[in-house]
Structures are given as structure tokens and as C-alpha cells.
Amino acid sequence: MKQLFLICCMLLAVTGTVQAGTKVEMKTSAGTIKLELNDEKAPVTVKNFLNYVDQKFYDNTIFHRVIGNFMIQGGGFDKNLKRKRTMAPIKNEATNGLKNDKGTIAMARTGVVDSATSQFFINLVNNDFLNHRGQSPQTYGYAVFGRVIEGMDVVEKIGQARTIAKSQLFRDFPEPQVIIESVRRVAD
């Protein structure tokens, strides 16, 4: 009993919580990625992401930007490279203490701090320069809201894809195309 208590205390010290977050499964043409979302530290972002998941918004979208040793980005364009219509932008939660470390998922945004809608990226390496460092748009950071718990090999495989410049908008486009077939909530 004492050992179980110590293990729980160690988990709490390392993760800040022993409560598991909502899990989602992302099926892609390259394989399946399972994510655990941090409902506690990124409630606005997780709620936003799950709204898109529940609407099946991500079905048949693509990873449209892949930069090796950096990140893979998706969630905004369909297979025909048509931008999908999104909900209103959300508050940037980059001040939540979560870091853009390898295997974390974060919201993509424009140069405007509170501009994230549906697009997300998964970090291929620790990207400290994307963390919150100040109040300006350049230093505010990108809100991490979860992490890969299964399928990091799939993320890395996507990250190693050959890329081409299809247009000014799609300069790091994976070839062949990587399709997000579906994203669904899953039970523990």
C-alpha cells in the first residue's frame, strides 16, 4: 500500500496530475496516432478541438505542411487543397505551462495571438522557441493541448516524408499526400 502511495505521489510530481485526459484516435493514411488531451491545463483549446472532432471536421483533411526535425501540420485543408470553413478563433492558452516538446500537439495560428481555429501541429522535436516567452505576438507562443501516447512512429514517418512546393501556400507539402481519414474520441 505504501508503494502504491509513493508511485501516485511520483506521478503527481512528474505530471502535475494523476487524472487522465480525453483521448482521441487519429487514423491517417500513414497509420494511427493516439492522443491524450490535457483538459485541465488547456480547457478552451481542448473544447475547441473536440468540437471539431465531434463534427467529424477532420475527416479527409490532410497534413499539408511537413518540415523534418520540426513538426507536421494539418487540420485545415481537404484532399483537394480546399480550405475548410472553421469556427471562430479561440483564446491562446500558451501560458498554461505546457511545452512544445517532442510528441506534443499544439494549435497553429497566424501572427495574431488569438487566431487559432482548427489547424494543429505535432512537434517532431523539442521546439522551445515556440513556448510562451512574452506578451508580443512573436513571443507569446503556441498553445500545447495534448501529447501523442501511441503512434509516435507514425508521426515520425510523416515527418520524414519527401516534400514539394505545390504553391506559395503549400511549400512543404508531403508527397505522396498524407490524409487524416478520421479523428474520434476513444475510451481508456
Amino acid at 160: Q
How far is it, in rounded angstroms, from Cα 53 to Cα 66? 22
Whether residue 58 has pLDDT greater than 80: yes
Write down the pLDDT at residue 145: 98
pLDDT digits over 170-188, tens only? 999 999 999 999 999 999 7
How far is it, in rounded angstroms, from Cα 183 to Cα 57? 9
pLDDT range class, residue 115, cuts 50, 70, 90: very high
How far is it, in rounded angstroms, from Cα 81 to Cα 164? 14
Domains of the chain: 23-186 (2.40.100.10)
Write down the pLDDT at residue 188: 77
| Residue found under cell 505530471 | 15
Angle at 126 between CA 131 and CA 182, to 5 degrees: 90
pLDDT range class, residue 7, cuts 50, 70, 90: very low
Q: Is 67 helix (H, G, I), strand (E, B) or coil?
A: strand
Given CA atoms 112, 116, 117, 118 in this order, what sign does their dihedral have? positive
Cell of 93: 492558452
| Region 53-61 average pLDDT | 98
Average pLDDT of the chain, as a whole number: 92
Write down the pLDDT at residue 20: 80
Higher pLDDT, 173 or 16: 173
| Residue found under cell 502535475 | 16
How far is it, in rounded angstroms, from Cα 52 to Cα 76? 11
pTM for this predicted structure: 0.89
With a CB cutoff of 8 Å and minimum separation 6, the contacts of 7 are none
pLDDT digits over 18-47, tens only? 458 999 999 999 999 999 999 999 999 999
How far is it, in rounded angstroms, from Cα 154 to Cα 146? 17
Whether residue 9 has pLDDT greater than 50: no
